[in-house]
Amino acid sequence: MHETMIAKEIISEAEKRGAVKSVLVEVGELGPLPAKDLETTLKTIVKWDVEVRERKGLVKCECGFQGHPKILERGHDFCLFECPECGNVPTAVEGKDIRLISVEVE
């Protein structure tokens, strides 16, 4: 499972900081994994408080559009989106990464 591998990377990174009490993770809506899937996986693996926030996507298109894309379909390991102005495939500027934002330790 892709989300399990990502969760284990987050856990490993958090544990480098000490005895973990809680984590805050940011998941881009244009990234490879829905925020809810990662949150569920983390909560089944660890006993910490887990907060996962979704970061909205921001794209830039050759037509000049910059803003939130039209999301066509979202699935496991993919997100299909287009420019809401012209229908072309824009470049993702924000909202494509998964980041460990903060770790609270004992």
pLDDT tens-digit series, residues 56-90: 999 999 999 999 999 999 877 888 999 999 999 99
Q: Label the pairing between strands 98-105 and 20-28.
A: antiparallel
- Residue 1 above 70 pLDDT? no
Distance CA 64, CA 99 (A): 28
pLDDT tens across 32-61, in order? 888 999 999 999 999 999 999 999 999 999
Distance CA 93, CA 72 (A): 18
Q: Please give the DSSP secondary-structure letter assigned to residue 77.
A: T
pLDDT tens across 11-32, in order? 999 999 999 999 999 999 998 8
Q: Which CATH fold topology does 2-105 show? A: hypothetical protein PF0899 fold (3.30.2320)
Give me the residue spans of the domains in the chain.
2-105
State the pLDDT at residue 83.
97
